């Protein structure tokens, strides 16, 4: 008589384990979302700088995440995922302190801007550490077969937090002033540090460790598709407030909420489609929907149409990251998962880093509606690349 096999963990048990890990992603992106709708206006109206500088201030965070990815992946692989998350939370707390300090220097606009950007840089580094730390922790704890599920839930936590954070940030600033954002960031990070203190860490995986740039080369084709699709998100989050102001509309934060809510709903409803249909078909369908949403934002004659465009863009972008991510992570060994995830995420960071200055230049010369047409055309380029990768995989 054979020994009884241990029961496999239930779907609910797996989900609860995932939620206990992505909680830290939620905290990190809540801190990213709080200032996202009010920061461009603060830099432009309170400090007196141009829309391009406002875009650069937002983009500096994503640039810091981009540049810190190699170190984040190496740290998660060698020192452990919990350590990476702890370092990230400390970075958020310090970012809050610098954000508060910036408001105290408002009478010195250049100094205030420099301090504010320093805080954004710390927030960007923290985003990289926590993003790769939580994804690598979840995949390592649950197994590679749950890669799409882990990445999907991490994205739900990310964009759900931004959807909540954007309007909360507006309410917070309207009621207590911009300085309250710095206090909120520091308090949230300290709370998460207290909670993670007693959480058991995941053992460091032994084996071959690819240099970051080797992992980068393996995932680059998939990451390029992700980057081309993600510029639309960077464009929306950076310039939707100024776009609304130019059109004479109110309620820009609700566009971010519509984007985030539809993003989360799509992942909740269709995350399993990646395992059933494959990464490429899901990515292709989602890029098509996102492109339609960006075109609506370009042509929007009123706020309801703009909200519909943001909602479609969020719904479309929702599964691009995990769909292409499943295909990308297959290219690296398990012991270098952190490096592979970091290298893949670089392309998302790159999209957000260049969206601010590039689309700021477009807005300055053509007007804000045209930035969404540019983003739509880039999404089409990502769609064409993904179709090519899908055909190549089928031929192999």
Q: What's the pLDDT at 7? A: 45
pLDDT at 203: 60
Helices within 38-146 (DSSP H only)? 39-41, 51-79, 81-104, 109-142
Pairwise CA distance, residues 316 & 293, whole Å: 8
Residues 34-53 as b/e (b if ≥16 CB within 10 A, e otherwise) read bbbbbbbbbbbeebebebbb
Give the distance between the most distant pair of CA atoms in the chain. Answer: 81
Class of domain 13-203+211-395: mainly alpha
**At a CB cut-off of 8 Å and minimum separation 6, what does 143 contact?**
none
Radius of gyration of the chain (CA): 20
pLDDT at 3 (0 to 100) = 44
pLDDT tens digits, the chain, 396 residues: what are they? Answer: 344 444 445 667 788 888 888 899 999 999 988 888 788 888 887 887 877 788 788 778 877 887 887 887 778 777 778 888 999 999 999 999 999 999 888 888 889 899 999 999 999 999 888 988 888 888 777 777 777 788 888 878 887 788 788 889 888 888 888 888 899 999 999 999 999 888 766 666 655 667 777 888 889 999 999 999 999 988 998 888 888 888 888 888 888 888 888 988 888 888 778 878 888 999 999 999 999 999 999 999 899 999 999 999 999 998 998 899 888 888 777 767 777 877 888 888 788 778 888 888 888 888 888 999 999 999 999 999 999 999 988 887
Residues 6+ apart with CB under 8 A from 38: 169, 170, 173, 178, 181, 241
Task: Say if residues 120 and 194 touch (Cβ distance below 8 Å).
Answer: no
Residue-wise burial string across 246-283, b where 16 or more C-beta atoms lie within 10 A, e elsewhere: ebeeeebbbbbbbbbbbbbbbbeebbebbeeebbbebb
Would you list the domain boundaries of the chain?
13-203+211-395
pTM over 0.85: no
pLDDT at 209: 66
């Amino acid at each position: 008589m054979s020994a009884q096999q241990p029961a496999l963990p239930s779907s609910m048990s797996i989900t609860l384990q995932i939620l206990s890990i992505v909680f830290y992603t939620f905290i990190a992106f809540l801190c990213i979302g709080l200032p996202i709708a009010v920061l461009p206006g603060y830099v432009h109206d309170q400090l007196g700088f141009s829309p391009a500088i406002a875009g650069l201030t937002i983009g500096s965070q994503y640039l810091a995440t981009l540049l810190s990815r190699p170190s984040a992946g190496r740290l998660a692989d060698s020192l452990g995922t919990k350590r990476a998350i702890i370092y990230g939370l400390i970075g958020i707390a310090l970012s809050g302190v610098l954000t508060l300090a910036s408001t105290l220097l408002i009478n010195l606009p250049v100094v205030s801007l420099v301090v504010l950007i320093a805080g954004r840089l710390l927030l960007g580094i923290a985003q990289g550490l926590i993003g790769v730390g939580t994804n690598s922790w979840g995949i390592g704890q649950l197994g590679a077969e749950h890669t799409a599920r882990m990445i999907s839930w991490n994205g739900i936590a990310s964009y759900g937090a931004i959807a909540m954070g954007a309007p909360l940030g507006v309410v917070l600033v309207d009621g207590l002033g911009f300085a309250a954002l710095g206090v909120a960031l520091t308090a949230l990070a300290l709370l998460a540090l207290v909670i993670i203190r007693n959480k058991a860490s995941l053992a460091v995986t032994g084996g071959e460790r690819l240099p970051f740039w080797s992992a980068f080369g393996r995932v680059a084709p998939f990451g390029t598709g992700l980057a081309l699709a993600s510029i639309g998100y960077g464009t929306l989050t950076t310039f939707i407030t100024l776009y609304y102001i130019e059109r004479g509309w109110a309620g820009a934060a609700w566009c971010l909420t519509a984007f985030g809510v539809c993003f989360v709903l799509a992942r909740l409803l269709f995350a399993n489609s990646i395992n059933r249909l494959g990464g490429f078909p899901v990515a292709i369908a989602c890029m098509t929907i996102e492109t339609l949403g960006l075109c609506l934002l370009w042509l929007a004659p009123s706020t309801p149409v703009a909200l519909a465009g943001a909602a479609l863009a969020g719904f479309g972008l929702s599964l691009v990251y995990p769909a292409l991510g499943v295909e990308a992570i297959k290219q690296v060994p398990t012991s270098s998962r952190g490096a592979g995830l970091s290298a893949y995420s670089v392309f998302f960071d790159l999209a957000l880093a260049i969206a601010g200055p590039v689309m700021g230049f477009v807005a300055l010369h053509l007007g804000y509606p045209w930035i969404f047409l540019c983003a739509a055309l880039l999404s089409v380029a990502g769609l064409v690349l993904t179709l090519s990768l899908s055909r190549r995989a089928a031929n192999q």
